[in-house]
Structures are given as C-alpha cells and as structure tokens.
C-alpha cells in the first residue's frame, strides 16, 4: 500500500523539503562566516529564486559577484548565474538528487558547488561534476575556484 506524502506550501514552492533545526543552523553559520570574511568580495543570497535551465531553483545559499541593492527595482527570480551554490542535505532529501542538481548548476556556469552533510559534519566542495574535495569535522574548508576558506568547527557549532 502506497502512502501519500503531503507537501507543505514551502516544499511545493521551492521544490525541496522543509528545513529543520540543523538546516537552519548550519547554512546560517555558513552565511554569517562568508559575510564576515567576504562581504566586500561577493553578494551572498540565502534562499533566492534563480532560473536555471528554464526552471526555478532555490539553493540554500547562492554566492554572486558583487551587485547593488536597488530599492524599487527588484528581481523576483534571478537569471544571473551565481559563482557558487551551497546546498544542504535535509533528512527527507535524497543525496543523488542534490548531486544531480550540481550537474545542472555546472552546466549553467557556476564555478563551485558545496554539498553539506550536517549529520556527518562534512562538506563536499565540487569544482566540476564528479570532481570534489571532502572536508570533514575539523580543519579549513578551501574552495580555490572562488578563493574562500572557512573553519569547519565554526560551521558545525
């Protein structure tokens, strides 16, 4: 017998599971650390709608080249390709789905893709499809494509 899963408005609108506590904490820490160190280098956007291959995508964090805030001139869905996308695996998500998303983002022109696995305190930094480095528990995450370094202990605290 098949059980129907009822999706929330959030899940339907964004095409991904509803975030949980850890899904709020870890991307929040990443955003804070990136903003603290790289605000003058990038425009950081959490949960922004991006059109990629004619489909709306909403990554946990998108890192763009610097762009201005323009009151009265807003874009509901961005068509610019970010430099980097950060996605975090939720308990209801399939790892293969997030890896497949990375291919789509790379085809669109991103430089790197971070796949965050909070339960393993691990981040995969993809520099191309199927090319990645793994950063786990302690040490410094290094993304040479966008020239970013972050302390893992600060991300997973």
Domains in the chain, CATH or no CATH each:
15-155 (3.90.1570.10)
Neighbours of 111 (CB within 10 A): 20
What are the φ/ψ torsions at residue 16 (nearest 5 degrees)? Answer: -155, 165
Note the pTM of the prediction, 2 decimals.
Answer: 0.86
pLDDT at 4: 46
State residue 12's pLDDT score: 56
What is the model's pLDDT at position 2? 47
- The answer to whether residues 49 and 56 touch, using CB atoms and an 8 Å cutoff, is yes
Q: Which pLDDT score is estimated for 1?
A: 43
Q: What is the pLDDT of residue 9?
A: 60
Weakly modelled stretches of the chain, pLDDT under 70: 1-19
Q: pLDDT value at position 16?
A: 55
Distance CA 111, CA 107 (A): 10
Instruction: Give the C-alpha separation, 67 to 48, whole Å.
Output: 14
């Amino acid at each position: 017998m098949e059980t129907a899963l009822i999706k929330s408005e959030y899940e339907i609108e964004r095409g991904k599971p509803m975030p949980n506590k850890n899904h709020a904490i870890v991307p929040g820490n990443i955003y804070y650390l990136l903003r603290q160190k790289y605000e003058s280098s990038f425009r950081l956007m959490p949960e922004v709608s991006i059109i990629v291959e004619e489909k709306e995508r909403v990554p946990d964090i998108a890192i763009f080249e610097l762009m201005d805030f323009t009151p009265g001139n807003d874009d509901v869905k961005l068509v610019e390709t970010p430099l980097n996308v950060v996605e975090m695996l939720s308990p209801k998500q399939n790892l293969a789905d997030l890896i497949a998303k990375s291919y789509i983002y790379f085809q669109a022109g991103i430089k790197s893709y971070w796949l965050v696995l909070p339960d393993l305190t691990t981040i995969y930094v993809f520099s191309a499809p199927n090319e990645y480095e793994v950063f786990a528990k302690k040490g410094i995450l290094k993304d040479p494509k966008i020239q970013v370094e972050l302390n893992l202990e600060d991300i997973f605290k």
